[in-house]
Every structure is written in C-alpha cells, then in structure tokens.
C-alpha cells in the first residue's frame, strides 16, 4: 500500500565510499524531492525534479547528485560521504509542486563510519 518507497531503510557506508539511495513512487506525481533531515531539525531541501527538469538548491554540496530516469524512480548519489552527511534522507512527491501536499517516503537513515 506504500506509495513512496525508499530503499534501503538503513544504509551504512564508509567515509568516502560512494552510496546511492533510491526512491520509487506509484502515485504518478510529476514532482519528486530529496530532503536531508538531521536529528531534531527540519527537513532541508537538497533538490527536486519537476518532470525531467532538475532544480538544485544553491547550498546543496556538489557531493550530492541526483538522477531521475523515469517518472517513477529517483536516485540520490553521494559521491564521497563525510561524517557530516549522516542523516535521514527523505524522498517526497507532489502532483502540483509545493502548493500541494507532499507525500513522503519512510526515509533512508544513512550512517557513515
């Protein structure tokens, strides 16, 4: 019944070792977002896709990349994870951009050792 699915639920990677987080959706929403959420903080937008158009936030580090091969899937690539990248990564979708409800996935908790 899950509509926004993130895999894996927990991910452990080593310092500097590339890692990819995935998100899929069955809602057929045209907008997909990646948020980073650290403990006791609000979600922070990293980037989003409006259809195939990629929109990067100005303060998102170059270390973070994203791919959206089709409507249903979106990936977050962290090229060289640092200890400061340990966080919960949330994928969200929307049918009409930010002025419509966001549907979040359950998140991937990333640990960097």
Partner 1 sequence: GENVEQHPSTLSVQEGDSAVIKCTYSDSASNYFPWYKQELGKRPQLIIDIRSNVGEKKDQRIAVTLNKTAKHFSLHITETQPEDSAVYFCAAVADQGGKLIFGQGTELSVKP
Whole-angstrom Cα distance, residue 75 to residue 64?
10
| Residue 105 in the binding site for partner 1 (CB under 8 A) | yes
| Residue 98 in the binding site for partner 1 (CB under 8 A) | yes
* Minimum separation from the CB atom of position 26 to partner 1 (A): 16
* Minimum separation from the CB atom of position 54 to partner 1 (A): 15
- Kindly tell me which residue out of 41, 80, 95, 113 binds partner 1, with binding defined by CB under 8 A: 41
Q: Are 103 and 27 in contact (CB under 8 A)?
A: yes
Please, how many CA atoms are within 13 Å of residue 105, restricted to the half-sphere of its CB?
29
Whole-angstrom Cα distance, residue 55 to residue 32?
10
Whole-angstrom Cα distance, residue 69 to residue 3?
18
- Kindly tell me which residue out of 90, 93, 110, 112 binds partner 1, with binding defined by CB under 8 A: 90
Closer residue to partner 1, CB minimum distance, 42 or 69: 42
Q: Which residues make up the interface to partner 1 (CB under 8 A)?
A: 40-43, 45, 90, 97-99, 101-102, 104-107
């Amino acid at each position: 019944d899950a509509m926004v699915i993130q895999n894996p639920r927990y991910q452990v990677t080593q310092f500097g070792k590339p890692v990819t987080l995935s998100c899929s959706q069955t809602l057929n929403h045209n907008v997909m977002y990646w948020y980073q959420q650290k403990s006791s903080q609000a979600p922070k937008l990293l980037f989003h896709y409006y259809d195939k158009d990629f929109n990067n936030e100005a303060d998102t580090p170059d270390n973070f990349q994203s791919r959206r091969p089709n409507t249903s899937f979106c990936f977050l690539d962290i090229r060289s994870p640092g200890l400061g990248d340990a966080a919960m990564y949330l994928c969200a979708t929307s049918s009409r951009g930010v002025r419509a409800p966001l549907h979040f996935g359950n998140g991937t908790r990333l640990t960097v050792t």
